[in-house]
Amino acid sequence: MDETKNRLLSTQEAIEAIVKAIPRGDHLTAPEVYELAVERGLKVSLSTVYRTLNRLKADGNVITVSGDRGLRYEAAEEGPAHDHLICLACGMTIEFYDELIRGFGKAVAQRKGFDHTTSRFDILGYCQNCRSKDTSHKIDLVQDAVAAAIERTEEALGQMRLGLEQLRMRKFNKAYSPIKSATSQLTQTIEDLDYAANSLSGDGTSAPPNSQSHD
């Protein structure tokens, strides 16, 4: 019994040490803690790591941070509580302290009938670096859409000229096919330009046009 208890305490202390060794501002998921534990020679399972982290959290030794990667863990430190800005794309986390937010948490707790002890906020969004990458990608898509619209318009003009030539020769049946092809090309051109215009206006509601073979 004592041996089992000592082993559990030893495992808990080792995992707590792993979390405390994380540089300030970094956070680990349970699987990442598990990988570090195995590297250090601990004979533990992933489920054991989860249970241990939950115990450490219940004891107030670690805190969790939410994000698209799921719960991540950091050591609880003395001093004022801090909040987090979390990038949903790359997972970068920035810690900050703002007295205004602290007051907001206390006010909300009081309105809801809670006895406020502390509060913490995880603000989710996208960091400047990821936003820059996203903007660059969007510009490439818009550029491709406009280039495709120009190409389709030129092809449509060629088909319209062919159709007009057939009409002038009174070959109405032969005029149908190129005119129909031009109609299809111009319809796709409008979709390309709508996407480009909406993207440039910041609407962002349009999906990139499908890459289709030209008729």
pLDDT in tens, 51-87: 998 888 888 788 777 665 667 787 776 555 678 888 8
Mean pLDDT on 158-169: 93
- The whole domain housing 73 covers 2-127
Question: Do 123 and 181 belong together in one domain?
Answer: no
99 and 182 in a single domain? The answer is no
Q: How far apart are CA 182 and CA 197, in angstroms?
A: 22
Q: Based on the fold, state whether residues 35 and 121 are members of the same structural domain.
A: yes
Question: Does residue 210 form part of some domain?
Answer: no
- End-of-domain residue from the set 91, 110, 127: 127
Name the least confident of 51-60, 91-100, 193-202: 91-100
Final residue before a domain boundary, out of 112, 127, 142: 127
Query: What pLDDT is attached to residue 5?
Result: 47
**Helix, coil or strand: residue 65:** strand
Helix (H) / strand (E) element for 11: namely helix 2-20
Of residues 72, 75, 44, the one with CA closest to residue 61: 75
Cα–Cα distance, 131 to 169 (Å, whole number):
57
Q: Are residues 97 and 152 in the same domain?
A: no
161 and 153 Cβ atoms separated by less than 8 Å: no
134-150 per-position pLDDT tens digit: 777 778 888 888 999 99
Classify residue 213: in a domain, yes or no.
no
Supply 75's token pair: 């050591």
Residues 110 and 155 in one domain: no
Share of the chain above pLDDT 70, in %: 83
Cα 15 from Cα 41, distance rounded (Å): 12
Say what the pLDDT of residue 24 is.
67
On whether both 146 and 100 belong to a single domain, the answer is: no
97 and 38 share a domain?
A: yes
Is 208 part of any domain? no
Tell me what percent of the chain is helix, strand and coil, each rounded to the nearest 5.
Answer: 60, 10, 30
Q: Are residues 37 and 120 in the same domain?
A: yes
Residues 114 and 160 in one domain: no
The residue with greater pLDDT, 84 or 194, is 194
The number of domains in the chain is 2
**Of the candidates 104, 127, 150, which is a domain's last residue?**
127
Asked if residue 173 has pLDDT above 70, the reply is yes
Q: How confident is the model at residue 1 (pLDDT cuts 50, 70, 90)?
A: very low
Interior/surface letters 130-139, b for 16+ CB within 10 angstroms, e for the rest: beeeeeeeee
pLDDT reported for residue 180: 92
Residue 207 domain-assigned? no
User: Do 196 and 167 share a structural domain?
Assistant: yes
Residue 209 forms part of a structural domain: no
Task: Looking at the structure, tell me whether residues 82 and 39 fall in a common domain.
Answer: yes
The answer to whether 89 and 67 are in contact (CB under 8 A) is: no
Res 11 pLDDT > 90? no
Q: Which of 82, 89, 84 has the alpha carbon at shortest distance from 72?
A: 84
Structure tokens at 47: 């489920």
